[in-house]
Amino acid sequence: MTTHFITAEVEINANQEAIAQNLEQAIEQTLAAEGEPLRWAITAINEQVDAVTAEVKKIAQVEAVVTRP
């Protein structure tokens, strides 16, 4: 088993009431694709504006330590 440090990006949905629960689930699902997450942290939240629709998207940057077989 090897340990890896990874960075992932997860989009934050617009529903403010469910952000905490949905964000945690989205992060865990994203990290599970990379291996078994040991620790993770949100290190930044960036906003991106779509040039066509002017819609603002928030992207959480996540840094994690995962293990892989």
Amino acid identity at 34: E
Strand residues in the chain grouped as ranges (E): 2-12, 36-49, 56-68
pLDDT at position 69 is 87
pTM: 0.80
pLDDT at site 4 = 96
* pLDDT the model gives residue 13: 72
- Quote the domain boundaries for residue 52: 2-68
- Tens digit of each residue's pLDDT (9 = 90 or more) over 3-62: 999 999 998 876 655 667 788 888 999 999 999 999 999 999 999 898 898 888 888 999
CATH code of residue 6: 3.30.1660.10
pLDDT for the residue 57? 84
| Number of domains the chain is built from | 1
Contact present, 58 and 47 (Cβ < 8 Å): yes
